[in-house]
Amino acid sequence: MNVVVVESPAKAKTINKYLGSGYKVLASFGHVRDLPAKDGSVLPDEDFAMKWEVDTASNKRLKDITEALKGADSLILATDPDREGEAISWHVLEVLTKKKALKDKKVSRVVFNAITKKSVLDAMENPREIDTPLVDAYLARRALDYLVGFNLSPVLWRKLPGARSAGRVQSVALRLVCDRESEIERFISEEYWQISADLKTPRGDGFTARLTTHNGEKINKMSVTNGDLAGGIRDMLEGASFVADSVEAKPTRRNPSPPFTTSTLQQAASSKLGFNASRTMQVAQKLYEGIDIGGETVGLITYMRTDGVQMAPEAIDEARQAIAARFGDRYVPEKARLYTTKAKNAQEAHEAIRPTGFERAPDDVKRYLDADQLKLYDLIWKRATASQMASAEIERTTVDITASKDGKTAGLRATGSVVRFDGFIAAYTDAKEDGEQSDGDDDDARLPEINAQEALAKDKINATQHFTEPPPRFSEASLIKKMEELGIGRPSTYASTLATLRDREYVTIENRRLTPEPKGRLVIAFLENFFNRYVEFGFTADLEEKLDRISAGELAWKDVLREFWTEFHQHIDDTKDLRVTAVLDALNEALAPLVFPVREDDSDPRICPTCGTGNLSLKLGKYGAFVGCSNYPDCSFTRQLSSEGSDADAALSNEPKDLGIDPHTSEPITLRTGRFGPYVQRGEGKEAKRSSIPKGWDVASIDHEKAMALINLPRDIGQHPESGKMISAGIGRYGPFVLHDGTYANLETVEDVFSIGLNRAVTVIAEKLAKGPGRGRGTPTALKALGDHPDGGPITVRDGKYGPYVNWGKINATLPKDKVPADVTVEEALEMIAAKAGASGKKTKAPAKKAAKPKAKAKTTKAKPAKAKTATAKKD
């Protein structure tokens, strides 16, 4: 018997069927060991020794593999065909070797690009050894990411409270988003006018021509800058005669794009389907691992983490046959199309993403797929098919027209195109938005018959005013495209990098556009001022290129680490004496448009609006940065650092605005602002109830009615018709929701909280239950393991939403703001845990090994004066 190790249980089951009873296929469930999230996992002073740790779940899987090997003849490592897959095979082999589980058994490595019977059996016939350079590249990348994260993040915690973390690729991606935001802030809009003429041929057919010259001067987009100039040209054209000087029809060919790579698939799925990167990869993973089709599990696409654009020769032949059968012989080009990648630092020589069988058209398999799977498979099948189809044949017509009046002349041009043969467009057209250049979606309309030297009749002259617009914010797709162009990150890292930025709350996504949060902009401003080299695009791309050279066997991985660490470690040491005042001065200047937004009355935005004499500046508190007055404590003005520029916040200052009386309690309702932003309050003192103003609401529009609606959240909607239990709506930590019997379901907008009826609420709850429990936010990252508590159970330092804290069981003790997480000792942690337990009345009891997760209870909270938090139930 032979033992085969793959990554996922779904693949294990399918592959075991292909191989038969002589094989036992087991899943590693991804990586079996990792670097512990604590100091000392990578030791530069010991030649970059790395200390790996196997978690409990992986221990069980490795034990299963060890048991299976006892009666086996060989071990076959069949993990994914990329660097991560190679690393998993290496880890498994290392652990089994140390366990002495292999003895004299034969060990081999096989890779397959698709989970089909033929691909798997072919791979088994062509075993090889583990690719050592590819593993070395993994080790170098893992060590670099660890060294940057565990050395740079503590600097942020000390100098920039509220910052979560920094990362080698993550921070550079965040810089791209922040740089774009700065471009938008600096942008000055300019006026321009476009002039066109609606004309008719002698046969009465209409078309539009745009102005290209005026009195011998070439007209471009910004040539006509005001209404007076535009009016003069329009008046001249109103009385002019028009003649078609020349008509030129030129045939052109348009070629198809190559099959998808990881990044182009993510871009197209975003533009055409509205999928984010993570969703795209999750669906693609399922299509790759296999779908049950008529009782047989078959992988429908090839491996989805790749930057290769070529297809295997047999796949090209199959595609050409499918094209001839489905579209006709004319759609099959004389020669097969071959592609080469244009991505900077492209590596991992895999095939492009394609169907495993071109005969399986989307319509043929749609009954086996869910909606998302069908959409993505349809996209992949069409793009791969189109890549081997004939060029589209297009006739582009250009008509140059002369307008003349009283010795003055103007030139106009009309363009149009006609598709004479659709070619590959019959299968696939690219989307313009966020993706690559559009194919077959030309804006030029088809022109009527126009003959040279014939007179044209004027129908209407159009002069339209426009203003230049700032560059758009990045979408996930356009950011991935930019990262690929710069050589930052790799196919397997794009989705996780974007997810990290969202999870760290450094960016938000609205209307599919990435907007940097103030917290994210602070981090980047700090890094650009004090660690600029490590967020430079060129430096990061150069490091990626060195990692690729390691995987090609051209560089020694530890030499690359030594070169990086020497300079980086010195830079970290140089920041130890950096004063917080110097940091704040630098950030005040770097983020001036954010910290000191322009005021409507043109007054100095750096002067305190409350006392009129103090200077505003960034201040650092326990939960991050805010704007405060230099006259503190005599002046207590504070304002949340907001990307919305908040004149309303400034106007509110710290003086409450009276909104009326609560008719039920007779308490005053006021609108206020604090360091966490604007909020409404009922009553005074510690017992006052507060509720934050939802993001996107205009503070100036908050009246008594809106304030009462917020104060009275959560709102009872009605009893569930089946359980009889109340359904309520509220705004929680993760946004608007409905709640029934411990089940939370997201709502699309804040407004839904106040308008949703019982029927819709029941439907939303039912849909959530049908989907099953979500992932939630997951366990916060462990920054340092301190060992076991005397009463049992591990003590760790973790990175939470509001900063680092010590965790033991159900007890969480926030670290003092001047305490560096990496410096916490076991003794200090035990004191903090005891103090926290005593303050909360909890008994310091060892946590159960498998404690059930407690159900969240909806409750109305009364916020402390320092925190203007929404007084609603917390969401799972």
**Whether residue 303 lies in the annotated active site:** yes
How many C-beta atoms surround the C-beta of residue 514 within 10 A?
A: 26
* Distance in angstroms (rounded) separating the CA atoms of residues 397 and 392: 16
C-alpha torsion 190→191→192→198, nearest 10: 140
Q: Which two tokens stand for residue 498?
A: 């974007």
Q: Which two tokens stand for residue 275?
A: 């999928």
Q: Tell me how far CA of residue 872 lies from CA of 179, 352, 681, 861, in angstroms.
A: 36, 49, 14, 7
* Distance in angstroms (rounded) separating the CA atoms of residues 875 and 745: 9
**Do residues 608 and 616 make contact, with C-beta atoms less than 8 angstroms apart?**
yes
Residue type at 288 in one-letter notation: Y
Q: What are phi and psi of 807, to 5 degrees?
A: -125, 135
Contacts of 507 (CB under 8 A, 6+ apart): 174, 177, 501, 514, 515, 516, 517, 520
Contacts of 121 (CB under 8 A, 6+ apart): 18, 19
**Do residues 438 and 431 make contact, with C-beta atoms less than 8 angstroms apart?**
yes
DSSP string across 490-548: -TTTHHHHHHHHHHTTSEEEETTEEEE-HHHHHHHHHHHHHSGGGG-HHHHHHHHHHHH
Q: What is the 3-state secondary structure (H, E, C) of 759-780?
A: HHHHHHHHHHHHHCCCCCCCCC
Active-site residue (options: 303, 494, 534, 805): 303
Can you say whether the dihedral through the CA atoms of 477, 481, 486, 492 is positive or negative?
A: positive
Q: Taking Cα atoms as reference points, which of 245, 235, 172 lies closest to residue 400? A: 245
Q: What is the 3-state secondary structure (H, E, C) of 452-503?
A: CCCEEEEEEEEEEEEECCCCCCCCHHHHHHHHHHHCCCCCCCHHHHHHHHHH
Residue type at 563 in one-letter notation: E
Q: What positions carry a catalytic annotation?
A: 303
